[in-house]
Chains A and B, each alone.
Chain A
């Protein structure tokens, strides 16, 4: 079956512009995560969605970052007024919590803010 897909694969934007990153999780996976991977750093947790529960937004670095998940499937991560420090690879993962939260990652979106 299809894995987690993300689009676009690469995004170059000017400082101050807004960007939207999309994630399509594996069908049937109720849990969805967003991570940020900066050069030389580990994976930084951003946000977690599980079914109809309120998302855990504790990892979002500022109020310029927001995410939503429509219909329990597709998710969009939005970064407003992008800054150069937002440049990173944004990874999405999905999982079936009842199987121990093993996460399946998408290929990521490489965001470059110029």
Chain B
């Protein structure tokens, strides 16, 4: 019940394409769903986050779609660029300090 399942494990997208990464959770008590971006040799950095009272949040080229009934949320990267090549982690939290992280998706955007 504490797991967050992330897919795909790796993703290759052409420049200008849309990258989509999916996560699913079981615990309905989760109320905060952030996405982190991690470049090689760096720690993860918060990219965008959503709470379950909204179905979508957009920041620039990055959009989170949230489906509360399906207990799923996804990250969409529009007009993907080579600079977006990184590992992306979804996470879930229930108002405490404990985050549950997905296993990560390694994204490669081809020039």
**Residues of B with C-beta under 8 A to A42:** 4, 6, 89, 101-104
Q: Would you give the 0/1 interface string for A88-114, flagging 1 where the beta carbon is closer than 8 Å to chain B?
A: 000101010100111111111000000
* Cβ–Cβ < 8 Å partners of A65 in chain B: none
Cβ B97 vs Cβ A101 within 8 A: yes
How many A-B pairs with Cβ below 8 Å? 51
* Cβ-defined contact, A97 with B97, below 8 A: yes
Answer whether residue B60 sits at the interface, using C-beta atoms and an 8 A cutoff: no
A-binding residues in B (CB < 8 A)? 4, 6, 9, 32, 34, 36, 41-46, 89, 93, 96-99, 101-104
Task: Check B103–A41 contact: CB distance below 8 A.
Answer: yes
Q: Is A77 part of the binding interface, using a Cβ–Cβ cutoff of 8 Å?
A: no
Inter-subunit contact A45/B99 (CB<8 Å): yes
Give B91 Cβ to nearest chain A Cβ, in Å.
8
Contact B101 A93 (CB under 8 A): no
